[in-house]
Structure 1
Amino acid sequence: MADSSAQKSLRSLPDPSAARESTGPAPSAHSADDMPDIVDIVMEMSGDDAQEGGKLPSPDPRQKSPAHLEHLADRARGYVEAASSANTRRAYAADWKHFSSWCRRQGLSPMPPEPQTVGLYITACASGAATGDKKPNSVSTIERRLSSLSWNFSQRGQALDRKDRHIATVMAGIRNKHASPPRQKEAILPEDLIAMLETLDRGTLRGLRDRTMLLIGFTGGLRRSEIVGVDVGRDQTEDGRGWIEILDKGMLVTLRGKTGWREVEIGRGSSDATCPVVALQTWLKLARIAHGPLFRRVTGQGKKVGAERLNGQEVARLVKRAALAAGVRGDLAEGDRALKFAGHSLRAGLASSAEVDERYVQKQLGHTSAEMTRRYQRRRDRFRVNLTKAAGL
């Protein structure tokens, strides 16, 4: 029987022992693992160079930036960091370390980017051979590792050809064999949210804060990082990702999210008990917050408000804790219920329950495509159109 293209690609992958002979000794841990400071590689052009056509001399990465350019280098570092979130940078660094460590164990070199080596690496990830506990990586994890490798290679002045058959064909086989349906978090519906609010202590600042976060997160369709990243006013903190404005008909939340700046309108509710604007005004008044982060840590048995901003994990823990306490999805076992809820449950809840034109939901969630918005609509359109009856059966 003729070999498939995937089998041929796998046969053409290099043997680790041959790679040791051809590539020479593996690079040092310093050169393999450390991210290059791309800002410090500042090229200094002399007047003679400019007269000869402006060709820049090849820079030495180890050479320190000229003193008169240090302030620009410092600012450029800040722009480099602002290009991606801290979580993304941590993931990129961890994936590069994982790949480099695997290469050293196999006697392979991480640089330059060789599609054959990357093909072997993702095969090891899929089979569990690339991890210490022998647990195979999921398809989504492997795809993220590939993206991380591409970014890391590009920062080192190299390009990884992900369309090369040694990568593309192997990755297609991994998807076909190991891909599974996405595991989405459960959507918090309005009746669920009301039950969750009742589980919170109305007599403490912590309970009031948590109540406000749930209402704003749901009605705004906000990500957990957006909820905790909001300030009371504009340009009040260096790490702020937006601010609020309270108006007659509701509140306007200006956010810097994944897709850029956007404005989110949160209208007033029909009842003070479930109105996000009333909850916010009460929180600001009793917590005596007029400047800085909107949602902060509460100490002293829930009665003292600190200055430190909450992190996104606190939102996920709050949603899970309140959902379990309210008995949401009580038809499931306790262990299964705990895995169903997270910060995204609030965004999914708004998308699934708001009976309006899909375009308004898409705008509120900050999605660039209607297809992405539909992924959040967990149960909204199920069986709304019955093609069985429409066909006459």
Structure 2
Amino acid sequence: MNPTDGKSISSRPALSEDERLDERKRERSEPIALPAHVAGSGRLDRLVDTARDYARAAASENTLKAYAKDWAHFARWCRMKGAEPLPPSPEMIGLYLADLASWSSLSPSKSASRPLSVSTIDRRLSGLAWNYAQRGFTLDRKNRHIATVLAGIKRKHARPPVQKEAILAEDILAMVATLPYDLPGLRDRAILLLGYAGGLRRSEIVSLDVHKDDTPESGGWIEIMEERALLTLDAKTGWREVEVGRGSKDRSCPVHALEQWLHFAKIDFGPVFVGISRDGKRAREKRLNDKHVARLIKRTVLDAGIRSELPEKERLAMFSGHSLRAGLASSAEVDERYVQKQLGHTSAEMTRRYQRRRDRFRVNLTTAAGL
């Protein structure tokens, strides 16, 4: 690879402070704008703002934050190498990926010098492709300088994915049993049971509204019926409906827990899951952050004594928001296609990745083949 067309990278002049400031301004500039030959007007300017809002809605907030960090990291790496991040150079990006897989030159700390995982490197590359697209460039990921380096990284460093522990039926019952019956307890009980029974992502849980179109940032809404609750979700794979049936007992029924929370919190409009006042007696209007779900799971796992034979640090690392989805997939003794539909997976293979405790040898092909 020859990323500098015969010139040594170290021979290229470093950016001045003013040039770096200009570059940062370019990086922060909005990608949606009027063509240069079109005169602006109040109505057109408003349409530009609207188009920018739609562009930002094309990806989740967490994804956009990750992509912004990816670009900042790559731009800093380029500056340290005396290179420019724009326009895209497949040769430089190939070197960047190789650096990520070996060691980081951006920090003197020992922990930061560890090679990144293959999945993180792949995500970084996706972030760069997205950022280049927003700036009017196309990054060809199939270019040999990128594709061959990435293929080599995957061949040499790829490892099986680290899966979070599934929260099984007995676990979720023990976790909700640790919660009090005050307002925060009612809310958190509804979050755990609804997330578990619906096989929901933590972002899907907190994005729910009471009704359709209650708020602009809504990710779905609920309909409570006699025998079940119907959730309409704007999920990663598109809109889907999730049915959550009533449980056999009130203490384990997700629909009953949801009704109790909405009733005592006096919520009949807007976000379903919100913050609570400091005295614990009044529901606020602001929607919960999805990090609350992750913290709630870890806290109740500890309080319930799940996997208590392990050190606390290991137990906290084993469970996350995805543990609820994995728990439903692993505990539901039904045909696999029903679990696939509930989780919103496009393939049965993806659903099987979530099934930690399924009977993998229910069909014995060895004996079926006559051995």
Matched, 1:186 2:165: yes
Aligned residue runs from structure 1 range 374-389, under 5 A: 374-385=352-363
Cross-structure match for 1:303: 281
SS at match of 2:121: helix
Residue by residue over 1:124-175, the C-alpha shift from the partner in whole angstroms, topping out at 9 and shown as x without a partner, is 1111234313232211111111111111112222222211221111111211
Kindly provide the amino acid, as one letter, of the partner of residue 118 in structure 2.
V
How big is the alpha-carbon RMSD for the aligned residues of Structure 1 and Structure 2? 2.3
Cross-structure match for 2:152: 173
Cross-structure match for 2:31: 38
Residue by residue over 1:303-341, the C-alpha shift from the partner in whole angstroms, topping out at 9 and shown as x without a partner, is 222111111000011111111111212333322111011
Kindly provide the amino acid, as one letter, of the partner of residue 311 in structure 1.
N
Kindly provide the amino acid, as one letter, of the partner of residue 307 in structure 1.
E
Aligned residue runs from structure 1 range 6-85, under 5 A: 18-19=8-9, 28-29=19-20, 30-31=22-23, 34-44=27-37, 65-85=40-60
Q: Shift of residue 120 of structure 1?
A: 0.7
Distance 1:231 1:301 in 2: 24
Question: Residue 128 and residue 25 in structure 1: after superposition, are their counterparts in 2 closer, same or farther (change >3 A)?
Answer: closer
Q: How many residues align?
A: 363
1:349 to 327, 338, 342: 327
Q: Shift of residue 241 of structure 1?
A: 1.0
Contact map agreement 1:17 1:107 (CA 8 A) in 2:
no
Cross-structure match for 1:51: none
1:137 to 116, 127, 131: 116
2:271 to 289, 293, 302: 293
Contact map agreement 2:277 2:284 (CA 8 A) in 1:
yes
Distance 2:308 2:362 in 1: 25
2:89 to 114, 121, 142: 114
Cross-structure match for 2:296: 318
Residue by residue over 1:44-65, the C-alpha shift from the partner in whole angstroms, topping out at 9 and shown as x without a partner, is 46xxxxxxxxxxxxxxxxxx84
Give the structure-1-normalised TM-score. Answer: 0.86
Question: Residue 228 and residue 334 in structure 1: after superposition, are their counterparts in 2 closer, same or farther (change >3 A)?
Answer: same
Q: Work out which of the two has the higher radius of gyration on C-alpha atoms and give 1 or 2.
A: 1
Give the structure-2-normalised TM-score. Answer: 0.91
Matched, 1:159 2:159: no
Contact map agreement 2:101 2:117 (CA 8 A) in 1:
yes
1:97 to 69, 72, 86: 72
Cross-structure match for 1:128: 103
Q: Shift of residue 382 of structure 1?
A: 3.7
Matched, 1:247 2:225: yes
Question: Residue 25 and residue 317 in structure 1: after superposition, are their counterparts in 2 closer, same or farther (change >3 A)?
Answer: closer
Q: Shift of residue 231 of structure 1?
A: 1.0
SS at match of 1:245: strand
Distance 2:369 2:80 in 1: 61
Kindly provide the amino acid, as one letter, of the partner of residue 226 in structure 1.
E
SS at match of 2:75: helix
Contact map agreement 1:362 1:369 (CA 8 A) in 2:
yes
Distance 2:289 2:179 in 1: 20
Contact map agreement 1:36 1:155 (CA 8 A) in 2:
no
Larger CA deviation: 125-134 vs 243-252? 125-134
Cross-structure match for 1:211: 189
Distance 2:235 2:54 in 1: 16
Contact map agreement 1:42 1:65 (CA 8 A) in 2:
no
Distance 2:330 2:69 in 1: 35
Q: Shift of residue 356 of structure 1?
A: 1.4
Q: What stretches of structure 1 of length at least 5 have no aligned partner?
A: 1-10, 46-63
Residue by residue over 1:153-210, the C-alpha shift from the partner in whole angstroms, topping out at 9 and shown as x without a partner, is 12222222211221111111211222222111111111111111111112x1111111
Residue by residue over 1:286-319, the C-alpha shift from the partner in whole angstroms, topping out at 9 and shown as x without a partner, is 1111111111112334322211111100001111
Matched, 1:284 2:262: yes
Distance 1:256 1:243 in 2: 9
Cross-structure match for 1:56: none
Q: Shift of residue 265 of structure 1?
A: 0.5
Q: Shift of residue 122 of structure 1?
A: 0.8
